[in-house]
């Protein structure tokens, strides 16, 4: 069902139901008040009759005369004894002869229908001849009142139908006015979809804040999609470029081996070594690319658990010292520290920064762990070649390398620091890099207070 149809249907139904309830309330209230007014008049008449009966001589003739004097213009007065027998009845029309109710000890009133006629009746106990208690039943014909009830009923029904039609028409006009900007937005979005681009749409004039918000949200989504596609295209282009060099080397050496490999052992050895190195480089590059895509599939809290951070750091330092045959110094005054992080990702994060420090420095690497403002600061410092100031804000970009020639010699792919940034963001770890050319680089990792469980 279309939104326009739903709005028209729901609004019309709600208004009609409300109108029906109100009209029923008006009809019942009017009818009850009118009948109550007639009953009140009959009660006053009955009181007057009772007063005069008390003053009379209690003879049948006197009683009949009193009742005749108080007879309504269109109605009946009946006296009923305890055995439900009619002792006296005075009426304006013979067809009212059947207007009689059973004897009641208390005063009663009711609205009754006899045939095509409608009456209100009041029955009160009075003392009759010989001090006998009887019911004085006074009936008044209210056919004219009933006609007014019926007229009111049809007026209310007619007004309900008329208001329903008017409401439906107004709903069509209002709904069309409200949904017109939405249809314009839909048409613009459809055109963008057909062009398969990421164009922004202009805000529709004289519209609501909600539609402006929808337009802004759509434009923001288009911007993000465009940026994402640009990143993907850049990633593909960079990956292709990175793979092109080793593929070219492998192809060249394989062609050379085809020609001279069988006759010249020195060419065979050189070619196999080159192909082996480039294959290792391609394997490393492919593994890092796969690692990048894996971060987008992991949730932030995946595999998060508490672990002893100092022991983990000591193991990393020992392993990398042996692997690279370099001296790595670890300093801290903290005796024990439990952190709630993804341990495997944390190990990889530290390994990336220490590995970079070793690659671009010939001197010792210093790692320190300290507390600052309830946070824990892990600092990795080297005295290497440093990073130019203009490159500091770009080093975490994919495939970015400060010195491409040197990076190729050290085996870098330009993806390590990008992976480090992804790991840090996933674990809510702050990164701050300070560096000077020929002086060295200092990386500060901030582990926030909420991730520290045990501190000593």
Splitting the chain (456 residues) into consecutive groups of 10 residues, what average pLDDT does each group show? 77 90 94 92 90 73 81 89 90 90 92 90 88 90 92 93 89 82 78 74 71 82 82 72 76 85 80 83 73 60 81 92 89 90 88 89 92 91 90 82 55 73 89 91 93 76
Q: What is the pLDDT of residue 455?
A: 67
Half-sphere exposure of 365 (CA within 13 A, CB side): 29
Q: What is the pLDDT of residue 299?
A: 47
pTM for the model: 0.49
b/e burial code for range 69-87 (CB count within 10 A of at least 16 → b): eeebebbbbbbbeeeeeeb
Classify domain 3-152 at the CATH class level: alpha beta
Q: What angle do CA 90, 92, 98 make, to 5 degrees?
A: 65
Tens digit of each residue's pLDDT (9 = 90 or more) over 220-258: 888 888 877 877 777 777 677 667 767 888 888 888 888
Q: What is the pLDDT of residue 402?
A: 72
Q: How far is CA 6 from CA 179, 208, 438, in A?
A: 12, 20, 71
Q: Determine the topology of domain 209-295 in CATH.
A: Helix Hairpins (1.10.287)
Q: What are phi and psi of 288, to 5 degrees?
A: -70, -35
Greatest CA separation for the chain: 159
Spatial separation of the C-alpha atoms in residues 288 and 284, rounded to whole Å: 6
Q: What is the pLDDT of residue 245?
A: 67
Q: What is the DSSP string of 63-120?
A: HHHHHHHT--SSEEEEEE-TTS-EEEEEESSGGGTT------SS-EEEEEEETTEEEE
SS (H, E, C) 106-153: CCEEEEEEECCEEEEEEEEEEECHHHCEEEEEEEEECHHHHHHHHHHH
From the number of C-beta atoms within 10 Å of its C-beta (0-12, 13-18, 19+), residue 305 rates as exposed
Q: What is the pLDDT of residue 406?
A: 46
Identify the residue whose tokens are 């790595």: 328
The domain segmentation of the chain, as residue ranges, is 3-152, 209-295, 301-455
What does CATH list as the number for 301-455?
3.30.565.10
């Amino acid at each position: 069902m279309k939104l326009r149809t739903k709005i028209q249907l729901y609004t019309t139904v709600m208004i009609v139901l409300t109108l029906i309830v109100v009209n029923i309330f008006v009809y019942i209230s009017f009818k009850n008040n009118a009948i109550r007014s007639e009953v009140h008049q009959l009660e006053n008449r009955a009181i007057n009759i009772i007063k005069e009966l008390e003053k009379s001589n209690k003879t049948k003739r006197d009683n009949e005369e009193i009742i005749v004097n108080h007879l309504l213009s269109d109605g009946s007065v009946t006296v009923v004894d305890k055995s439900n027998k009619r002792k006296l009845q005075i009426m304006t029309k013979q067809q009212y002869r059947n207007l009689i109710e059973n004897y009641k000890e208390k005063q009663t009133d009711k609205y009754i229908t006899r045939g095509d006629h409608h009456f209100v009746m009041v029955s009160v106990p009075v003392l009759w001849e010989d001090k006998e208690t009887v019911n004085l039943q006074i009936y008044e014909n209210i056919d004219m009142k009933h006609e007014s009830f019926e007229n009111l009923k049809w007026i209310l029904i007619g007004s309900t139908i008329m208001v329903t039609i008017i409401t439906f028409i107004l709903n069509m006009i209002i709904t069309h006015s409200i949904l017109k900007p939405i249809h314009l937005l839909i048409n613009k979005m459809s055109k963008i979809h057909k062009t398969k681009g990421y164009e922004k749409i202009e805000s529709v004039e004289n519209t609501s804040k909600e539609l402006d918000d929808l337009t802004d949200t759509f434009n923001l989504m288009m911007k993000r999609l465009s940026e994402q596609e640009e990143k993907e295209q850049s990633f593909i282009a960079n990956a292709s470029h990175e793979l092109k060099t080793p593929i070219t080397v492998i192809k060249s050496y394989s062609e050379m081996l085809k020609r001279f490999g069988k006759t010249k052992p020195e060419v065979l050895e050189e070619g196999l070594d080159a192909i082996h190195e480039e294959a290792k480089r391609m394997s490393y590059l492919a593994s890092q690319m796969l690692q990048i895509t894996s971060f987008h599939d992991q949730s932030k809290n995946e595999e998060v658990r508490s672990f002893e951070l100092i022991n983990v750091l000591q193991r990393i330092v020992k392993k990398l010292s042996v692997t690279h045959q370099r001296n790595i110094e670890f300093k801290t005054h903290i005796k024990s520290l439990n952190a709630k992080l993804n341990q495997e990702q944390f190990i990889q994060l530290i390994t990336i920064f220490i590995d970079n420090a070793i690659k671009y420095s010939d001197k010792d690497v210093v790692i320190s762990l300290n507390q600052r403002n309830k946070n824990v600061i892990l600092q990795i410092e080297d005295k290497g070649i440093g990073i130019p100031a203009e490159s500091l804000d770009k080093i975490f970009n994919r495939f970015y390398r400060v010195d491409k020639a040197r990076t190729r010699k050290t085996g870098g792919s330009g993806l390590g620091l990008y992976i480090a940034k992804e790991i840090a963001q996933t674990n809510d770890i702050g990164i701050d890099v300070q560096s000077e050319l020929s002086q060295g680089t200092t990386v500060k990792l901030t582990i926030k207070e909420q991730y520290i469980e045990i501190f000593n």
